[in-house]
Amino acid sequence: RKRLFLFAGMEIISNSRNIETYSTDEEGKEKYLFTSRGMKVETDDENDENGAVADFGMPEGIGGEPPPKPEWYKCVMINPGGPETISCLHLKMLSLRPARASRVNIRLMKLKGRIPSAEDLQANP
């Protein structure tokens, strides 16, 4: 049996400008929830607190040019019907930036939800 949780929303900072979100119920049926368009955020990669370096899977540059500067987008997603009991969440990361990027990079992901109680499962089957 799959574990269920109540999904309320999430916040993601990534190189994806658009994110489609799908939920999967206990029977394995996938349902489209929403598409979120990210807002561009400026970051100081040289002073990244984690020391992380983004690898976008891009060539080093054309004709000796340096590779394009990473672009980060913040998507805040709230489940439109309120918290929903789901077993799995599927994200489609679209419109990767820079334009020739071949890898998804996630800088920050905050998930809003909780494990449901017995009362929650009875009220929201």
Q: What's the mean pLDDT in 58-85? A: 75
What phi and psi values does residue 94 have, to the nearest 5 degrees?
Answer: -115, 165
**Which pair of structure tokens corresponds to residue 39?**
């807002």
The confidence score (pLDDT) of residue 51 equals: 44
For the purposes of burial, counting CB atoms within 10 Å of the CB of 88, is it exposed (0-12), middle (13-18) or buried (19 or more)?
middle
CA 61 – CA 108 distance, rounded (Å)? 27
CA 85 – CA 23 distance, rounded (Å)? 9
Question: What does pTM read for this prediction?
Answer: 0.71
Lowest mean pLDDT of 7-16, 30-39, 50-59, name the range: 50-59
53: pLDDT strictly greater than 80: no
For the purposes of burial, counting CB atoms within 10 Å of the CB of 97, is it exposed (0-12), middle (13-18) or buried (19 or more)?
buried
